[in-house]
Amino acid sequence: MDDETDFCVVGAGPAGLVLALLLLRSGARVTVLERASSFSRDYRGEILQPGGLALLDQLGVLAGARARGGYAHRRFRLVERGRALLDIDYRRLPAPYDHLLSLPQRHLLEELLAQCRGRDGFDYRAGTRISELVREDGRVRGVVADGPDGRRTVRAHCVVGADGRFSKTRRLAGIDGQRLEAFDHDVLWFKVPLPCPADPPDVTIFRSSANPVLAYHSYPDRLQLGWTLPHRGYAAVAEHGIEHVKQQIGRAIPQYAELIDAHLHTLADLSLLDVFAGCADRWALDGLLLIGDSAHTHSPIGAQGINLAIQDAVLAHPVLVDSLRSRDAGAARLDRFTGQRRRSVERVLKLQVLQSRAMLSQNRVGNALRPRAARLLAHTPVYPRVLRRIAYGDRPVVLAADLLTR
Ligand SMILES: Cc1cc2nc3c(=O)[nH]c(=O)nc-3n(C[C@H](O)[C@H](O)[C@H](O)COP(=O)(O)OP(=O)(O)OC[C@H]3O[C@@H](n4cnc5c(N)ncnc54)[C@H](O)[C@@H]3O)c2cc1C
């Protein structure tokens, strides 16, 4: 027999689980399908901006997620040969959201899932992948998914694709992800053991004559490093082997060279992130909505993806509740979400491209101008505006608290 629900959410990332919790608390039934069988999987983004923190707090999720472990970082800095070129000081924002939070993503997801569990109408299927969309009369009516209990059909008032940058839901719907080669760098990620000091240091990008490296303390006792390299340049780097990579990274961050030497053994210890942007040409079809990375994909530089995913869920929530009440999940109604959101997302993307070029590019003119431009920025009225935009996004996002009936 087919399963019946109000909303079938594909993907239990930040977008999917925040949305599931909001819909459940608004009295809807929600089934979440998640491909992974646990949250302890590959490294995923973990730096949260103040805008995301504020929304999670309003939703009653932040305290529990933090209690599982994370670090507050007061500043984001761009440092070249020991000198800070750019110093984004989050303490200039109003408390309590006056910092970045590095929070292992599983801590956030586990807390969200714990809050969904036990609520009437919630069904969570781990280890379950979407394989088909059910279409009837020209609209999406549900999904077919394969999981530990075999193949099942979940019929729903509306299907929400929240299954990330390579979204299968998007592909099955025939929607183009519109990949954009907007960034000049890919990132090689790895962690090395390093206890965090009592006062966690800043999130820092270290520049030198070698490729820039992003570094921050990751809970509980790791230093997370992201070595940037030219987009699609990994094969050329890998040809030279791990010793060459270690040498390059050691040149950019000599203070950690010994640590890296001791803990990086093979290229398999590094995980390559192909950095691209994307903005799907449609976010809604009759019976289907895309949110988070499945609708628009971002670079990890600038830490915007989780913020945007949480904001998407918060903004899609009233549109979806309204569609359930009116029994209308047509594209025109769902596009009330798309309409207001697409421009904001595009603006954040533009800001990320600017940030990325300003911080990572290696050309003579840029290198010569960077220190002066950074000093100027810090002393103009533009600085607080830029800081607010990085922290909160393009415009305020308000949670529809009046719809939360339980
Ligand atoms: C290496 C890396 C570092 C990053 N660093 C940061 C950072 O520090 N800060 C920041 O803000 N952003 C960062 N990002 C981006 C951020 O992680 C994403 O923007 C954010 O997680 C998007 O949330 P989402 O819920 O839309 O998608 P995701 O978090 O990608 O979640 C999608 C979920 O769908 C599931 N799924 C996929 N396919 C299927 C399927 N066929 N069936 C069922 N389930 C499926 C996946 O298993 C996953 O759980 C980083 C990204 C990467 C890759």
User: What whole-number distance in Å separates Cα of residue 194 and Cα of residue 215?
Assistant: 12
13 Cα: distance to centroid of ligand 1 (angstroms)? 6
Strand partners, 98: none
- Cα–Cα nearest to 124, from 32, 198, 237, 213: 32
Locate the ligand 1 atom nearest the alpha carbon of residue 16 and give its number: 25
Report the alpha-carbon distance of residue 107 to residue 111 in Å, rounded. Answer: 6
Pocket perturbation via mutation, ligand 1, pick of 306, 355, 356, 392 by most ligand atoms within 8 A of CB: 306
Q: How far is the CA of 243 from the centre of ligand 1 (A)?
A: 31
Rounded CA separation 160/290 (Å): 6
| Alpha helix stretches (DSSP H) within 117-225 | 168-172
Pocket probe mutation, ligand 1, options 9, 40, 44, 146, max atoms within 8 Å of Cβ: 44
Mutate to test the pocket of ligand 1, among 22, 32, 33, 35 (most ligand atoms within 8 A of CB): 35
How many Cα atoms sit within 13 Å of 18 on the Cβ side?
33
Residue the block writes with tokens 């309409």: 339
Within 8 A by CB and 6+ apart from 134, the residues are 140, 141, 142, 143, 144, 153, 155
**Ligand 1 lining (C-beta closer than 6 Å):** 10-16, 33-36, 43-47, 129-130, 162-164, 168, 189, 273, 292-293, 298, 300, 303-307, 309
> What is the rounded end-to-end Cα distance, in angstroms, of the chain?
30
* Cα–Cα distance measured from residue 159 to residue 175, given in angstroms and rounded to the nearest whole number: 14
Which is nearest to 315 in space by CA: 388, 396, 398? 398
Per-residue pLDDT of the chain (406 residues; tens, 9 = 90+): 689 999 999 999 999 999 999 999 999 999 999 999 999 866 678 999 999 999 999 999 999 999 999 999 999 999 988 888 888 899 999 999 999 999 999 999 999 999 999 899 999 999 999 999 999 999 999 999 999 999 999 999 999 999 999 999 999 999 999 888 888 889 999 999 999 998 889 999 998 877 899 999 999 999 999 999 999 999 998 999 999 999 989 988 999 999 999 999 999 999 999 988 899 999 999 999 999 999 999 888 889 999 999 999 999 999 999 999 999 999 999 999 998 799 999 999 888 888 887 777 777 667 777 777 777 777 788 888 889 999 999 888 999 999 999 8
In angstroms, the CA 228 to CA 157 distance is 43
Contact (Cβ atoms closer than 8 angstroms) between residue 285 and residue 265: no
The bridge status of strand 100-102 relative to strand 83-89 is: unpaired
Q: Kindly give the number of the ligand 1 atom that is closest to the alpha carbon of 304.
A: 11
Rounded to whole angstroms, the Cα distance separating 370 from 82 reads: 15
Pick from 191, 231, 196, 229: nearest CA to 213:
229
